[in-house]
Chain A
Amino acid sequence: MESFDFPFFIEVLVGGLLSGIMYSLVAIGFVLIYKTSGVLNFAQGALLLFAALTFVSLLERGVPFWITFAVTLAIMAVIGILIERTVLRPLVNKPPITLFVATLGLAYVLEGGAQLLWGTQVHGLDLGIDDVPYVVGGVFISTFDLFAAAVAASIVLLLTIVFRYTRIGLAFRAVADDQFAALAIGLKLPVIWAAVWIAAGFVALVAGLLWGARLGVQFSLSLVVLKALPVLVLGGFDSILGAIVGGLLIGASEKLAEVYLGPFFGGGIESWFAYVFALAILLIRPSGLFGQRLVERT
């Protein structure tokens, strides 16, 4: 092997960190739902597909960008409320695995609905950001990925502000901390759930647009959840901070592994490496890096 190529290492590392942010974006949607209702919402990928497909279809029909954004957001909000009403509320107090399977069913409905509504065509989505690389000291950095990172940072900031300084945010935290206590002091769970599903719809839209611009808007978009799951395991299902840090760690380690370890295995190890990496960390910390301490049932 040739001597260690340091700029190349940096390039892989930076590329990995930026990819990781994209995973985090998807993971945040999961965290919002899990924190308040204890559901691993597998339909997040389908929500993302639905949002992106709606957005791009409206845009292609000549609707201006910001109106499209607002309309899609409104549609996602309605869907969020509908999900809360028709799926979550009737299943309240059911075991999480039942809820999990229900979200799988929900994913079917959303994927089918999105394609029935807008067709199965593949769409390109141009957010107006040319992805010509920046060159910093011989290291290529993607403009688009930097933009995505900035968006992710704004979302985290926005969510933090909402949770910290608004009534609904406080209620949200109360529910996340202790559902029963929150109920006991008269918080309206359904309202909070609806709010959370709307927030998840918003995150799905943003993630859908960024991923859609990368992959094209098509069915495979719903598969990005598979990139988010190891991030969740690593960061903890119930921590937004964890989703960010987890994403960075997974992104960087996965890319470094593919480049430096991949050749020893014949390459293509990314598909499982993230899971194994997350698993290895978990064996040391069983609730992820930032997850709440595991409480054994007694």
Chain B
Amino acid sequence: MTTASIPLPRPASAIGRVPTWPLPLAVIVFAYAGIPLFASDYLYDAILAPFLALSLAAVGLNILTGYAGQVSLGSAAFMAVGAYAAYNFNLRVEGLPLLASIVFAGLIASAVGVVFGLPSLRLKGFYLAVSTLAAQFFVQWTLTKFSWFSNYNPSGVIDAPALNVFGYVFEGPHGRYLFSLSVVVALTVFAARLVKTQTGRNFIAVRDNETAARISGVPVLHTKLLAFAISSFIIGVAGVLWAFAYLRTVEPHGFNLDRSFQILFIIIIGGLATIRGAFFGAALIVVLPLVLSRAGTFLFGSYFDSGVLDMSQRILVGALIIVFLIAEPDGLAALGNRIARRLRLKSPTN
């Protein structure tokens, strides 16, 4: 183990290709038409909103880490850049439509991502991973230090603007959900297309073998920075969703190191180098603690106080992560593939 670069797990996508556009389409249709039939405010605002934002962030990180093989621990910083940039575009540029603010915010996050991605040209593995922490701390410092970013609000916490798209305001839990969902669908489709193009293949080539990639004519440096740029763009937009559609307030503390780790958890548990893995992983990471905490309160609430329950839950989440890594190191996406393959073996029509 003398090499300092991090060999990544087998990409789950390589295991048994499922010919799939009908399935994602069905999921999208269900998300738009099915979920609103039964969803409550709680489901929208406390589960789906963070789920969508974190899924998108994980799609972004997966492009960088899963496809292009560059490990980053600074995802939350790029979310923060996105959120603050969108807020400021919206505030300071008179008449700029919200969607344009969001796109510009993504571009700013992208630019910041490229700057902090520069070390990747020389560093590898954990050296690179730890150096992305520079982004994490520098961005948080900048956003708290310079009050301009929070419009000189004395408390440094700002209110998110209304989600107004060409005169239509996405309001209420359902409206905000539709807004988040549309943004997530659009960017996910983009990401899914991207990884199938030459650019996507270049990412994978750089990840699998940098030297070989260079020999076969892949512009390695350019490819790495492009991965940082695209990934940060998506993560930045995820930050906008987190702040505008979920919390509806923007504060730097929420984009801390724990959030970065959370996103990393999602892509590892969901499955590296898969798009759907990001959604599986986010579902697990967002929903599991809630289910555990509710179940804990239900079963033991009258015996222990909430602190004890929460610590037990923390232990359980940690333990489950470890157990999961041992049992299914390639992630939920691989698990899904395996099940799908088995089902197909059983049905002769396929």
Contact = CB atoms under 8 A, between A and B. Distances in A.
B252 to A, nearest CB: 12
A242 interface: no
Contact of B8 (A95, A272, A283): A95
A96 B6 contact: yes
B325 A94 contact: yes
Grouping DSSP codes into helix (H, G, I), strand (E, B) and loop, the B interface class, with mixed when no group exceeds half, is: helix
B230 to A, nearest CB: 20
B123 A266 contact: no
A64 to B, nearest CB: 29
Contacts, number: 163
B125 A96 contact: yes
Contact of A230 (B9, B122, B130): B130
A295 interface: yes
B88 interface: no
B18 interface: no
Contacts of B315: 108-109, 112-113, 116
A298 to B, nearest CB: 6
B122 A229 contact: no
B311 A271 contact: no
Interface string B217-253: 0000000000000000000000000000000000000
Nearest to A103: B322
B33 interface: no
Interface stretch (B22-30, B133-141, B182-190, B332-340): B133-141
A105 B71 contact: no
B326 interface: yes
Nearest to A175: B1
B170 interface: no
Interface in B248-275: 257, 261, 264-265, 268-269
Given A94-B329, A282-B123, A287 B4 contact: yes
A102 B325 contact: yes
B311 A233 contact: no
Nearest to B10: A95
B131 A291 contact: no
Interface in B107-145: 119, 122-127, 129-131, 133-134, 137-138, 140-141, 145
B325 A116 contact: no
A295 B321 contact: no
B4 A97 contact: no
Contact of B319 (A38, A109, A292): A109
Interface in A247-298: 265-266, 268-269, 271-272, 275-276, 278-279, 282-283, 286-288, 291-292, 294-298
Contacts of B71: 97
Contacts of A287: 4, 127
A107 B262 CA distance: 13
A283 to B, nearest CB: 6
A224 interface: no
A143 interface: no
A269 B119 contact: no
Contact of B211 (A95, A178, A296): A296
- Of the candidates B145, B308, B315, B320, the one having the most CB atoms from chain A within 10 angstroms of its own CB is B315
Nearest to B321: A105
A91 B325 contact: yes
B5 interface: yes
A76 B269 CA distance: 29
Given A94-B325, A94-B329, A179 B1 contact: yes
Given A91-B326, A96-B126, A233-B130, 10 more contacts: A95-B6, A98-B9, A105-B317, A112-B318, A113-B311, A116-B312, A286-B123, A291-B4, A292-B4, A298-B209
Interface of B: 1-9, 65, 71, 119, 122-127, 129-131, 133-134, 137-138, 140-141, 145, 209-211, 257, 261, 264-265, 268-269, 307-308, 311-315, 317-322, 325-326, 329
